Structure formats: structure tokens, C-alpha cells
Homo-oligomer: A and B are copies of this chain.
Amino acid sequence: MQAEQLKKTLDAILLSAEKPLPVDKLIQYFRPEDVVNSNDIREALTTLEEETRERGFELVRTASGYRYKTREEYKQWVSRHWEEKPKKYSRALLETLALIVYRQPITRAEIEEIRGVAVSSHIIKTLQEREWIRIIGHKEVPGKPAMFGTTRQFLDYFNLKTLNEMPPLAEIQDIDKLYPELDFKPQNNEDNKEQEEQQNSRASEQ
């Protein structure tokens, strides 16, 4: 692979990577026919570093590898990404969480099977970052999918000592009685349509 093309390919890889990448990981992005060795990569990284000098970001090397980061001097502006009000969680996220709470340990595929739709990686990631769920093992089936369970932080957030304090199913069916102050609309089966609408409006709130 030509030096110029290699450099741009590494640029694209580093720009979209979710974590730092060391040279020996970077080299795995290339096939044998690309004819790229670790020296080529180090040279290309040096060039990229130079070419990024005049930009708002920089190539940083940490213990775990190379990563593009925004430059320190722009942090007060960059921080405004998070200054907006916290958004509401989507319906999909809450349902995923509910299934993990009540059906743990549970795999993503099992969640998808019950919900009937794909679970986005974003949702799992959000729940993991919030430290409400964690991987508690891997299922012994092909692909060894991760199984999720809830954490102590989850219990803490909701002021529960154990999961047993979650209302049992029977009470969930009667949730209007459990939380009379919330004044739910009637939600029996005949009201499916209304419920669907509520779900939709909830989903669009996120």
C-alpha cells in the first residue's frame, strides 16, 4: 500500500475508533496483500501527527495505544456537548432494562426475542456506562454471547436492598393501584390502541 493511502486509511481508522489502538492492533486492520508492516504504520502515524498540528484535535499516544483527542485548549467549548438538559430515556431502553432486571442473566438475543426487535448497541452501552448493568458471564452457545445482570449501583439508585424488593409480577399487572398518585389512564386490553399511541409518543420524546 502506498504511504499516502496508508496514512489516510489510518486517519479514517483512528477517527472512528472507539478506543485507543496500539500499533499491533492497527496492523490487524490490513490484509496480507496490503503489504503493510509496523514500521510503515509508525511512519504514517508520525506524518499524521505533524499534519494534525494545525487542527482542533491531536494524535495522542497512551499506554493502550493511539487515539485522536480534541485539544485541551478547546475543552470549555467541547464541554458544552453535555450542557443540555439530560434527555429522557427511550422506551426501548426502559424495556431492555426491565427485561434485564426481571430475567437476568439474559443475553442480547434473548432480549431481542422477547421484544421482537433488535436491541441497539447504544442502549446496552448507555446502561453499562450508567453502571446499571454489567456482563456477568457468557452463555455456552455458539458465539458465546454475553449475559447481562443488574449491579449494586442499580439497586442503590432505586433505593433497593435486593432485587426482591422490586414489585412482583402480580403487582405490575395492577400498577395503577401500586402508584395511584400517578393516575394512569385505563390500560386494559381493549385499550391497546391508546397504549400504542402512548408508547409512540414516549418513544419520540427521547
Contacts and interface: CB of A to CB of B under 8 A. Distances in A.
Interface of A: 7-13, 15-18, 28-30, 51, 54-57, 68-71, 74, 77-78, 80-81, 87, 90, 92, 116-118, 120-122, 125-126, 128-129, 134-135, 146, 197, 200, 203-204
19 contacts: A8-B54, A8-B71, A9-B56, A9-B74, A11-B55, A12-B56, A13-B78, A15-B15, A15-B57, A16-B78, A16-B81, A29-B80, A92-B129, A116-B121, A116-B125, A117-B122, A117-B125, A118-B129, A129-B203
Main secondary structure on A side of the interface with B? helix
A48 to B, nearest CB: 9
Can you tell how many copies of this chain the complex includes?
Answer: 2
Contact of A70 (B16, B74, B92): B16
